[in-house]
Structure 1
């Protein structure tokens, strides 16, 4: 498989971005990859308003990965006061486990370093042990901090269990 090319997202990418994130995490299409959350959450993972907000974020950038013109991955990296955060991280489920996610994460870390950031963090649903392990293999450590899941806000999905919460992971850059 050819290596992905990277570029910043633009407003015209909103629909493709929403479709990619949905395919990677929710519904039947997500089960083709290993990042599915369909057993934990139903409904949407993001919507056009949230994607457009990430693209226009003045303190960040949405980076897209494309192979032969096809969108195969995305990540939103933000910075504030010397620290970086990322989210909206997705890879087409039919192309997972091929290095695109690692390459996208490296792109986000490179941008964060360019902004002068010394750490990068993220939140992961605590029940996603295989995903947490993937981040730990890349140097991210659990901080001990947790955040509540936004129950009742269907913009983030419809929980299928009542014990969801996020763990915070961080890496020194």
Structure 2
């Protein structure tokens, strides 16, 4: 798997992969997934967007948000065609390496409280619940992993 920064030319492929990866969650959460309905031009302008590729195919999309006091994994999406190849784990490892390289001592993320499989996976990777956030149409769980 090779990682590279996304460009505006990649937006159609990013949208397609994000749709494919997040749409199945919507039957569980009952609302559109935030990364799926995002304005990807804005996301690309405001965040680090990394693409995982192999053999000319887009396998994953990683969106990272860096603020002076906080490093957030904003979105992680793996192509259904790449399932089982540990792309998600590799993207999570890269996220933590990137946070450290930028001088952060933790990674923050959030997901919908009904996505038990995701929450369990993040927990197995060392992420711990920090708080819950109630939005008008959904409830989020926020998690954090210390990198010290």
TM-score, normalised with respect to structure 2: 0.89
| 8 A contact 1:139–1:171 mirrored in 2 | yes
Residue of structure 1 in register with 2:103 after alignment = 116
Deviation digits for residues 13-49 of structure 1 (CA, Å, limit 9, x no counterpart): 11110110110111xxx4xxxxx333323556534x6
| The structure with more helix, counted as a fraction of residues | 2
In 2: Cα distance, 1:149 partner to 1:103 partner:
30
From 108, 115, 120, the counterpart of 1:128: 115
In 1: Cα distance, 2:80 partner to 2:74 partner:
17
Residue of structure 2 in register with 1:93 after alignment = 80
Residue of structure 2 in register with 1:8 after alignment = 5
Where does structure 2 lack aligned partners over 5 or more consecutive residues? none
2:134 is aligned with 1:148: yes
Deviation digits for residues 76-96 of structure 1 (CA, Å, limit 9, x no counterpart): 111222420012210011222
The count of corresponding residues between Structure 1 and Structure 2 is 146
Q: Which has the higher contact order (CA 8 A, sep 6+)?
A: 1
From 50, 55, 58, the counterpart of 1:68: 55
- Runs of 4+ in structure 1 displaced over 3 angstroms? 41-45
| 8 A contact 1:75–1:89 mirrored in 2 | yes
In 2: Cα distance, 1:5 partner to 1:37 partner:
29
Where does structure 1 lack aligned partners over 5 or more consecutive residues? 31-35, 152-163
In 1: Cα distance, 2:78 partner to 2:123 partner:
18
Distance 1:13 1:150, change over 3 A: farther
C-alpha deviation, 1:127, in angstroms? 0.8
From 40, 43, 46, the counterpart of 1:54: 43
Residue of structure 2 in register with 1:156 after alignment = none
TM-score, normalised with respect to structure 1: 0.77
